[in-house]
Amino acid sequence: MAGTSAFLLFFVLPLQQACAAGDPVAGRAAFAKCASCHQVGPSARGGFGPQLYQVIGRRAGATTDYKYSPAMAKAGFVWTEDKLRAFMKAPGDVVPGNKMRFWGIGSDRQIDDILAYLRSVK
- Tens of pLDDT, residue by residue over 2-60, are 555 544 445 544 444 444 589 999 999 999 999 999 999 999 999 999 999 999 999 99
* 3-state SS assignment for residue 78: strand
Residue 67 has pLDDT above 60, yes or no: yes
CA dihedral sign, ordered 75, 77, 82, 84: positive
What span, in angstroms and rounded, lies between the C-alpha atoms of 59 and 23?
25
> Is the pTM here over 0.75, yes or no?
yes
- Total residues found in the chain within this entry: 122
CA dihedral sign, ordered 20, 26, 32, 38: positive
Region 56-82 average pLDDT? 97
Q: What is the pLDDT of residue 85?
A: 97
For 84-106, the pLDDT digits (tens) are 999 999 999 999 999 988 889 99
1 pLDDT tier (thresholds 50, 70, 90): low
Region 103-116 average pLDDT? 95
Whole-angstrom CA distances from 51 to 14, 54, 98, 108 are 33, 9, 16, 22
